[in-house]
Structure 1
Amino acid sequence: MAAHRKPKQSPLGGQAARTAATLALASAATATLFEGSGHAEPRLTPAQVKAKVDRLYQEAEVATEKYNGAKEQADQARGALDRLRDEAARRTERLNTVRNGLGSIAAAQYRSGGLDPAVQLALTSDPEQYLERAALAEKAGARQAAAISSVQRELAGIRQLRAESAERLTQLRGHEADLRRQKAAVQGKLEEARTLLARLTAEERARYEAAAAGSGRDGAEGSAGATGERADRTSAPRGPVTAPNSRAAQAIAFAHDQIGKPYVWGATGPSAYDCSGLTQAAWRSAGVALPRTTYTQINAGRRVSRSELAPGDLVFFYSGISHVGLYIGGGQMIHAPRPGAPVRIAPIDEMPFAGATRVG
């Protein structure tokens, strides 16, 4: 009788075999996916690059204004701390002077033996002389009591100053930490924008930079090359500006003289500006002190509607109030746009309008 052999079976049978097959197919698909996407990111069109870069620059400007605010707060805290330390040093000097006086009184008493007035009277042969000396001793005691009170006051004042200094130092360190965070945020956004721009061809980059520099937009803006060079001042209208008062006229004249200077984040002039640095400097030239940031400048005067705009008004953009320009009339402003785009004249319609303030 012939022997019946059992057919060979796979080590993985039934459901196990099907599971293994599924895993193998999934692995192959995953490998194919990574091979297709790991070597290079899909190439963006110039329009997509422009949109991303513009968004990054706007985000960098938001971070710049936060940096400006943190820097202003750090400077104020540092100034307050320095003043507290100076006052503590003056009080310490006064304390040492009073202490030296007390030391002199104590030494004099030690040398005189600190005799009781009754004993001094018994020993003196001249009562009138004793009375004179007793009056002097009483005055010396009063001076000593006053000196002790003065020491106590100075010590209490110094303790208070030291406590305030410690609080200011804590605030300063917090502002400095915020300053470092905002600086890193700005630099990160700008570096990401530079990386994206580097993916453009030379021709595409030139077109982008020419557009960003404002070559001929509405016939009112200066031009600059890819390096962000100074714009041609003659391309902007230089006719008389009807300002509501002499201070507004001076602010506009100052801003006009800055046309073509580069945008540098955190800069307040005189060789470069960011947006709020330019408006602050313009109004400072007219004798008006503005705060440092866009979101504080908008509250520095009286709010006006778009229909009420007059030359010299501050005009603000984006929902976060992250950009500001100086209105010069005719729907135009002078502003510092962003890196690579110098100070220039531009229409206020080129960005989402958020509000306006009248100062001066």
Structure 2
Amino acid sequence: MTVHRRPQLPGVRRLARALAVTAAATTALGVTVAGSAQALPGPPAEPIAKKDVKAQVDQLYDEAEQASERYNAAQECQRRLQTEAAALQSQIAGGQEELNRLRQDLGALAGAQYRSGVMNPGVRLMLDSDPAAYLARARALDQATARQNDTLRQVLDRQRRLDQRRDEATAKLAELEEVRRSLAESKSEVRQRLLKAQRLLSSLGAVERARMVADDARAAEQRATRGTDRLDLGDLPPSSGRAAAALAAAVSKIGSPYVYGSTGPRAFDCSGLMYWSWRQAGVTLPRTSQAQAYAGQRISLGEARPGDLVIFYKDMHHVGMYAGGGVVVHAPYPGAQVRYESVNAMPVAGVVRV
């Protein structure tokens, strides 16, 4: 279909929003960033050319996004491990109660046998004044012995299972602690990259920053429209009704800010936009771009239809949604809002049909 392009925002408004988004992203990760070069540690001693600043900021944002996806993955892993560890602890508690009950039964049976004596059954029969009564008691004792043996087997089996659950719980808790360390490291890495990017942006004057933001948005629009004044998404239908709903949800968020770790509805990171959009279609995707790369059927780029996921870069740290006509809708990075972009703007690692 053919869609008129969106009007450009004034440069100053774009700059203000870009800096606000970057500040919001850093604040969300526990960072306080001032808006001036003097308030930031270690500003560059020499002025840097605008093109060099843009290249370095783009690189820092790319590195921050990789760290952010690792952070998202660690968060998901932490939630899973916490759930699994809680389930194991519950199983251990229930197993211990059952084991205690079986041990009590076993003790009662052992006590009954002790009170019955240990004389040879043949001798007891000859000496007993009431052989019939003795035989009845002996049969009961045999049954009790069999029940005792069965209970003993159950005790041993329950103990083995309980020990196994305890080992599993210990391993889960150790893994959880490792994931928490990974979370802290990834969060620190994102924060450092954002601080460096903010420092570089602050080395530019307000006019230069506004122009850089406007140029970036204009370049993205030109890539999506191929330099024309219209956006041609072609006439291929989505692969399914759910894909159509997911695409409509993603397109409805064009203009929303990028914030690391966000899954909407007001701000998104790249995989967060895919996660939120497909949730509106009734489908729960994995949280990260790397996991989303395996969330459906792999197809070639030439087979892509609207609603398919397009995974970018060799390490699959970025994802967008195919909108048709060689265009994706995606959340690029801080300072750039959710937008259309040419699928060729980044190296494609794969296409996934959910």
Superposition TM-score, scaled by structure 2 size: 0.75
After superposition, the Cα gap between the structure-2 partners of 1:216 and 1:155, relative to the gap in structure 1 and judged at 3 Å, is closer
Q: Does 1:274 align with 2:269?
A: yes
Is the 8 Å Cα contact of residues 53 and 200 (structure 2) preserved in structure 1? yes
Question: Which residue does the alignment assign to 2:4?
Answer: none
The Cα of 1:176 is off from its aligned counterpart by: 2.2
The Cα of 1:309 is off from its aligned counterpart by: 2.3
Equivalent in 141, 145, 157 of residue 153 of structure 1: 157
Q: What is the identity, as a one-letter code, of the residue corresponding to 1:300? A: A
The Cα of 1:212 is off from its aligned counterpart by: 5.0
Question: Which residue does the alignment assign to 1:354?
Answer: 348
Equivalent in 256, 259, 279 of residue 254 of structure 2: 259
Q: Distance in 1 between matches of 2:267 and 2:260?
A: 9
Q: What is the identity, as a one-letter code, of the residue corresponding to 2:71? A: Y
The Cα of 1:53 is off from its aligned counterpart by: 1.1
Q: Distance in 2 between matches of 1:141 and 1:198?
A: 84
Q: Distance in 2 between matches of 1:220 and 1:359?
A: 22
Question: Which residue does the alignment assign to 1:143?
Answer: 147
Is the 8 Å Cα contact of residues 65 and 293 (structure 1) preserved in structure 2? yes
Q: Distance in 2 between matches of 1:105 and 1:149?
A: 14
Q: Distance in 2 between matches of 1:39 and 1:307?
A: 46
Any stretches of 5+ residues in structure 2 without a counterpart? Answer: 1-41
Q: What is the identity, as a one-letter code, of the residue corresponding to 1:161? A: R
After superposition, the Cα gap between the structure-2 partners of 1:354 and 1:238, relative to the gap in structure 1 and judged at 3 Å, is closer
Q: What is the identity, as a one-letter code, of the residue corresponding to 1:355? A: A
After superposition, the Cα gap between the structure-2 partners of 1:119 and 1:270, relative to the gap in structure 1 and judged at 3 Å, is farther
Question: Which residue does the alignment assign to 2:337?
Answer: 342
Show CA shifts across 1:105-131 (max 9, x none): 234445x35353557646754332222
Q: What is the identity, as a one-letter code, of the residue corresponding to 1:303? A: R
The Cα of 1:214 is off from its aligned counterpart by: 6.3
Is the 8 Å Cα contact of residues 214 and 341 (structure 1) preserved in structure 2? no
Is the 8 Å Cα contact of residues 263 and 273 (structure 1) preserved in structure 2? yes
Q: Distance in 2 between matches of 1:288 and 1:214?
A: 33
Show CA shifts across 1:7-49 (max 9, x none): xxxxxxxxxxxxxxxxxxxxxxxxxxxxxxx996110133322
Is the 8 Å Cα contact of residues 254 and 339 (structure 2) preserved in structure 1? yes
Show CA shifts across 1:84-142 (max 9, x none): 322222221210110121232234445x3535355764675433222222211111111
Equivalent in 87, 93, 102 of residue 89 of structure 1: 93
Question: Which residue does the alignment assign to 1:203?
Answer: 207
Question: Which residue does the alignment assign to 1:249?
Answer: 244
Is the 8 Å Cα contact of residues 303 and 355 (structure 1) preserved in structure 2? no
Q: What is the identity, as a one-letter code, of the residue corresponding to 1:173? A: E
- The DSSP-based 3-state class of the residue aligned with 1:68 is helix
Q: Distance in 1 between matches of 2:202 and 2:236?
A: 41
Q: What is the identity, as a one-letter code, of the residue corresponding to 1:67? A: Y
Is the 8 Å Cα contact of residues 263 and 269 (structure 2) preserved in structure 1? yes
Is the 8 Å Cα contact of residues 319 and 330 (structure 2) preserved in structure 1? yes
After superposition, the Cα gap between the structure-2 partners of 1:126 and 1:269, relative to the gap in structure 1 and judged at 3 Å, is farther
Q: Max radius of gyration: which structure?
A: 1
The Cα of 1:82 is off from its aligned counterpart by: 2.7
Is the 8 Å Cα contact of residues 305 and 355 (structure 1) preserved in structure 2? no
- The DSSP-based 3-state class of the residue aligned with 1:316 is strand
Q: Distance in 1 between matches of 2:261 and 2:199?
A: 22
Q: Distance in 2 between matches of 1:256 and 1:237?
A: 14
Equivalent in 71, 74, 89 of residue 67 of structure 1: 71
After superposition, the Cα gap between the structure-2 partners of 1:270 and 1:141, relative to the gap in structure 1 and judged at 3 Å, is farther
Superposition TM-score, scaled by structure 1 size: 0.74
The Cα of 1:186 is off from its aligned counterpart by: 1.0
Q: What is the identity, as a one-letter code, of the residue corresponding to 1:292? A: R
Question: Which residue does the alignment assign to 1:114?
Answer: 117
Show CA shifts across 1:42-92 (max 9, x none): 101333222211111111112112222333333333333333322222221
Any stretches of 5+ residues in structure 1 without a counterpart? Answer: 1-37, 222-234
After superposition, the Cα gap between the structure-2 partners of 1:319 and 1:155, relative to the gap in structure 1 and judged at 3 Å, is closer
Q: Does 1:44 align with 2:34?
A: no
Q: Distance in 2 between matches of 1:175 and 1:213?
A: 37
Question: Which residue does the alignment assign to 1:57?
Answer: 61
Equivalent in 175, 195, 212 of residue 191 of structure 1: 195
- The DSSP-based 3-state class of the residue aligned with 1:244 is coil
Is the 8 Å Cα contact of residues 223 and 341 (structure 2) preserved in structure 1? no
The Cα of 1:270 is off from its aligned counterpart by: 3.5
Residue identity over aligned pairs, in percent, reads 41
Q: Does 1:78 align with 2:82?
A: yes
Q: Does 1:164 align with 2:158?
A: no
What number of residue pairs does the alignment pair up? 308
After superposition, the Cα gap between the structure-2 partners of 1:142 and 1:214, relative to the gap in structure 1 and judged at 3 Å, is farther
Q: Distance in 1 between matches of 2:216 and 2:129?
A: 104
Question: Which residue does the alignment assign to 1:175?
Answer: 179
Equivalent in 289, 292, 310 of residue 294 of structure 1: 289
After superposition, the Cα gap between the structure-2 partners of 1:124 and 1:203, relative to the gap in structure 1 and judged at 3 Å, is same
The Cα of 1:236 is off from its aligned counterpart by: 9.2
Q: Distance in 1 between matches of 2:43 and 2:349?
A: 47
Q: Distance in 2 between matches of 1:177 and 1:104?
A: 50
